[in-house]
Amino acid sequence: MGGPGRDPGLRVSPRADRIPRPGALRETSAVARLLHVFIHHEIQAAELCGWAILAFPETPLEFREGLFSIMLDEVRHAAVYSARVEALGASYGQHAVRDWFWERTLACESPLQYVALMGLGFEGGNLEHAHRFDRLLRDAGDTVSADLVARVGREEVAHVHFAARWFTEWSGSAPESGPDFERWAAELPAPLTPAVLRGRPLDRVRRGKAGLSEAFLDRLEGSGTTSSPSDR
């Protein structure tokens, strides 16, 4: 199965997204540019739920129904970011986008790898990124955008929880302790490693609510830093 269909007017770049510097976020145009990146993250998250429903038809119906419901959340997230970008005088498609989640996720060969990468990896890391950008936007004086990022971040906890539940079941991890760290790291498609799938400081509270154990979080926190393939 190939990559996503794209509007011919949308410029897709192989380069990493340009995230504005924190000091630049006092400029409306820089906030719009940041949220433009987030819109495309949400669109890819929605698309990849759809991709996984089609790629893994042998999975339980409950899993695919869960993906469908998450897909609708991601569409809604893209829509609220898009509305905010328009309120800031810009629009989706104005900047080039990168299909980084697609590039990595197409390497997943099993539903176990998919929940390891998408739910526990990208969406898990987003729990930390949401805090960071909430704070940066608030410090820059844009409380409306900060509140939006915070709200979306809170809603992602359930998505990570969904992935943790299915990862535990399919990997044979002990139900009472949730995903096993070693097993999770082993299921990530190369070259991704745990260290590029978390932010600092680790959001232990939200990750705990999402079903990750203290032992898992200790290992994640201690995992070595490597150079990230993206500048996220």
Residues interacting with Fe ion, by CB under 5 A? 42, 74, 77, 123, 156, 159
Asked if 211 and 173 touch (Cβ cutoff 8 Å), the reply is no
**Closest by Cα among 145, 38, 36 to 92:** 36
Query: Residue 189 and residue 227: Cα distance in Å, rounded?
Result: 16
Query: Residue 36 and residue 38: Cα distance in Å, rounded?
Result: 5
Three-state DSSP at 5 gives: coil
Give whichever of 74 and 180 is closer to Fe ion, judged by the CB atom.
74
Asked if 217 and 3 touch (Cβ cutoff 8 Å), the reply is no
Give whichever of 148 and 220 is closer to Fe ion, judged by the CB atom.
148
Q: Is 158 exposed, middle or buried (0-12, 13-18, 19+ CB in 10 A)?
A: middle
Give whichever of 77 and 161 is closer to Fe ion, judged by the CB atom.
77
Residue 176 CB, shortest distance to Fe ion, in Å, is 25
Largest interatomic CA distance in the chain: 50
Residue 152 CB, shortest distance to Fe ion, in Å, is 6
Residue 70 CB, shortest distance to Fe ion, in Å, is 6
Residue 85 CB, shortest distance to Fe ion, in Å, is 15
Residue 35 CB, shortest distance to Fe ion, in Å, is 13
Give whichever of 6 and 151 is closer to Fe ion, judged by the CB atom.
151
Give whichever of 134 and 156 is closer to Fe ion, judged by the CB atom.
156
